[in-house]
Chain A
Amino acid sequence: ETGVTQSPTHLIKTRGQQVTLRCSSQSGHNTVSWYQQALGQGPQFIFQYYREEENGRGNFPPRFSGLQFPNYSSELNVNALELDDSALYLCASSLVQQETQYFGPGTRLLVL
């Protein structure tokens, strides 16, 4: 059974640029959630995708957007990057309504 994978592992961007982060779900999981973890904080829910549609969103502006593909992989896109977007971005997969979410290793984004 393959776990959750994310790419890239690290990324450096400058303010105003756009970034795309990628996630492959654990085998058999059809729900993907994205979280942002700032330094010294717990992960914060960005949004969740189920059956290729957004299924809930946290307190993040519209410049954070996502996609889920038929194979359940997912992308997180962030436009007009700001310095405060520097964080670890975590992807988690689960079966819908399953209690446990399984996390990938994360993508460390640095915005200069």
Chain B
Amino acid sequence: DQQVKQNSPSLSVQEGRISILNCDYTNSMFDYFLWYKKYPAEGPTFLISISSIKDKNEDGRFTVFLNKSAKHLSLHIVPSQPGDSAVYFCAAKWLTGANSKLTFGKGITLSVRP
């Protein structure tokens, strides 16, 4: 039973355009969400996060939107750059749970074409 779903395995966009990466979750106990970027042969790198008390968080070119009623979040990258090409993981956690474990989706491979 996958509690965090990234249904599109890959996305290809033109440099300078917007990249929109989607993520859905099923567990209503999740109250904190994170996006990680992963290059080959490296560990995941933290990008941006959002608490369930917000519906938007922005950091430079990266914005995450949260729609709690739809149990959906999305990561927007504007403008996209070739260096953004990587695998992006959506992760969720329950802040008041016994531990701070992260539940990950399967990831989306983003390719930004020059």
Contacts and interface: CB of A to CB of B under 8 A. Distances in A.
Q: Do A and B come from one complex?
A: yes
Contacts of B42: 105-106
Contact of A105 (B43, B46, B103, B104): B43
B106 A43 contact: no
Interface string B79-102: 000000000010101010011111
A30 B45 CA distance: 19
A65 interface: no
Contacts of A92: 43, 102
B43 A104 contact: yes
A90 B101 contact: no
What range describes how many residues of B lie at the interface? 20 to 34
Interface residues of A, number: 30
Interface in A45-99: 45, 48, 50, 55-56, 58, 90, 92, 94, 96-99
B34 interface: yes
Contacts of A42: 4, 6, 89, 91, 104-107
A34 B91 CA distance: 15
Nearest to A46: B101
A97 B97 CA distance: 9
Contacts of A50: 99
B32 interface: yes
Nearest to B97: A56
Nearest to B101: A45
Contacts of B103: 45
B16 interface: no
B106 A90 contact: no
A63 to B, nearest CB: 20
B99 A99 contact: no
6 contacts: A33-B99, A42-B89, A42-B106, A45-B101, A48-B101, A90-B44
Interface of A: 4, 6, 31, 33, 35, 40-45, 48, 50, 55-56, 58, 90, 92, 94, 96-106
Interface of B: 4, 6, 32, 34, 36, 41-46, 49, 51, 89, 91, 93, 95, 98-107
